[in-house]
Amino acid sequence: MPLAILTTATAHNGPPQPRSHPEWSDIGLFVFAIAAIWLLRHLMRRRNRKD
């Protein structure tokens, strides 16, 4: 499928609106990143204890 078809499907109408607060997706991504970092650090510490 050509890239032009995919990009025109996501276009918006009108000028961009100013953001007054973060979107839910921004908050979800932040929480996911914190959880992933915590999990990786936890697993690495657990692995080092076995050695």
For the stretch 35-42, contacts whose Cβ atoms lie closer than 8 Å and that sit 24 or more positions apart, written own/partner, are none
**What's the sign of the alpha-carbon dihedral 38, 41, 43, 46?**
negative
C-alpha dist (Å) from residue 9 to 2, 13, 14: 12, 12, 15
Q: Which residues contact 29 (CB under 8 A, 6 or more apart)?
A: none
Look at phi and psi of residue 22 and say left if phi exceeds 0, alpha if psi is from -120 to 50, else beta: beta
pLDDT of residue 4: 56
Positions of the chain with pLDDT lower than 50, given as ranges:
none
Q: What is the pTM assigned to this prediction?
A: 0.58
